[in-house]
Amino acid sequence: MTDSTTFLQNLFSLHGKTALVTGASGGIGGGLASALAEVGATVGVHGRSTEKVTEICRQIEEKGGKALSFTSDLAVIEANRKLIDDVVGTLGRLDILLNCAGMNRRKPLSEVTPDDYETIMATNLRSLFFLCQAAQPYMKAQGGGKIINISSINERYGLGTISVYGASKAGVAQVSRVMAVEWAPDNIQVNCIVPGFIMTPLTEQGVWAVEHRSEWLHERIPLRRPGQPADLVGAALLLASPASDYMTGSTLVVDGGFLAGGSWEQDPFWKQAP
C-alpha cells in the first residue's frame, strides 16, 4: 500500500467514530447509514418503524459493519433529547449526527391546515433543531463533532403544493449556518446537503410515477435522470470525515444540475432566433 493510498484512506476513514442517522428507515437515510458503516463508523440507525430500522441494521451487519437500532417519533418534542441521550448512553459518544428525518403533505396553500403545518414543521425543522441542541454539549465535551443536515432544493426553488415543506427546509439551511458560527469554537462543523429530486419510495409515487411531473423533470435536469440515494453518499462521507475539518456553514448541492439552470437544449437563449 502506497503512502498516498494510506493518506486518502485516513482522510475519509470513520474508524473509531460513532454516528446517528435519523430518518434512516427512508430511502436517503438508510443508504447513508450503510455508507457511514462501510467506512468504519458504528452507526445508530433511527426511524419510526422498528421493522425497517432492524432490517437496515441487519444489512449493515451482513457486510461486516456495526449498527444499532433506535426507534422514536421525532415529532414528539420530548423524544429528541431522549434519542441523543440514549445513543450516547449506548455507544459511549457521538461523533457524527446526520439528520435525514423529514416528511411532506402536498397541498395548495389555501388547503393547508394547522395540523399539516405543525406536523411538517415539527418533523422537518423543530426536531432537527433540538436534536442538534442536545448533541452539542456531548460533542463539545469530547473535543468536537460533525453535524450534517439534509435540506432540499425546495429551500430556494419554489414549486406549488409544497409551501410548508419548502419553508421548513429553508429553515434547516439557515439554522445550520447559525449553528456553524456559534459552535465553531467547540470544533463542531455543521454543514448541509441539498438534494435534488431523489428517487425514493416517497417521491416515486408522488413525483416520478406522475407522467407530467416525470417528463418535466427529465427535461429540466441537465443530467436527464432522477437522483438516487447513492448519489448523496460522496457528499455525506466528505462532511462526516476529517476531509471536511475546515468546512462549516456550507451547503453541498447534489441535484444533477437542476439549480444551475435547465437543460441547455430547452434554453430559449441558446437557440437561434427565427
Catalytic residue (one of 117, 138, 157, 165): 165
Alpha carbons 151 and 27: distance in angstroms, whole number: 15
Q: Is 183 helix (H, G, I), strand (E, B) or coil?
A: helix
Q: Is 18 helix (H, G, I), strand (E, B) or coil?
A: strand
- Residue where the block lists cell 441523543: 84
- Stated length of the chain: 274
Q: Which strand (E) or helix (H) includes residue 100?
A: none
Of 125, 137, 150, nearest in space to 240 by CA: 150
Q: How far is CA 234 from CA 8, 175, 246, 269, in A?
A: 14, 23, 17, 33
Chain centroid, CA 93 distance in Å: 21
- Write down the H helix ranges in the chain: 3-12, 27-38, 50-62, 78-91, 114-121, 127-142, 163-183, 201-203, 211-220, 233-240
Sheet of 188-195: strands edge to edge? 66-71, 42-47, 18-22, 96-99, 145-150, 188-195, 251-254
Helices (H) and strands (E) in the chain, counts: 10, 7
Residue 165 among the catalytic residues = yes
C-beta of residue 24 within 8 angstroms of C-beta of residue 51: no
User: Annotated active-site positions, please?
Assistant: 165
